[in-house]
Amino acid sequence: MDCTFQVGDKVVCAHEISPKRFYGWETLPQFGAVYTVREVFAGSGGRIGIRLVEIVNQPGDYQGGIMECGFNYRNFRPVEKPKRETSIEIFRKIDRDVFGKVDA
């Protein structure tokens, strides 16, 4: 299993999900939308699937039996956290406010 997603991870749908593998009544992830991983599981044929907090479907009769559909983890990528720029400006502000010093 090369899936590194864990429950609680934020993921973005990176591919259009084809409705061909579904019955047509399921709610499918939308390309570009951000979701939260609710479950990671081994699906049929050794595929790794995920279920999402924001999408809960009724169980249906899929290859693995009666269950809620899942989505191939390969259709998702982790949400990239923005990089924080390190700044000492807050410390300069504290220095000015507390000690009354002014930048030279």
What is the C-alpha to C-alpha distance for residues 57 and 7, in angstroms, rounded to an integer?
Answer: 18
Structure tokens at 89: 């400006």
Domain boundaries, the chain: 10-99
CA-to-CA dists, residue 79 to 12, 23, 36, 86, 104, angstroms: 6, 29, 10, 21, 41
For residue 101, what pLDDT is reported? 60
- Summarize pLDDT for 44-76 with one digit per residue, the tens: 778 899 999 999 999 988 877 888 999 999 999
Structure tokens at 22: 């579904």
Top pLDDT among 51 and 92 is at 51
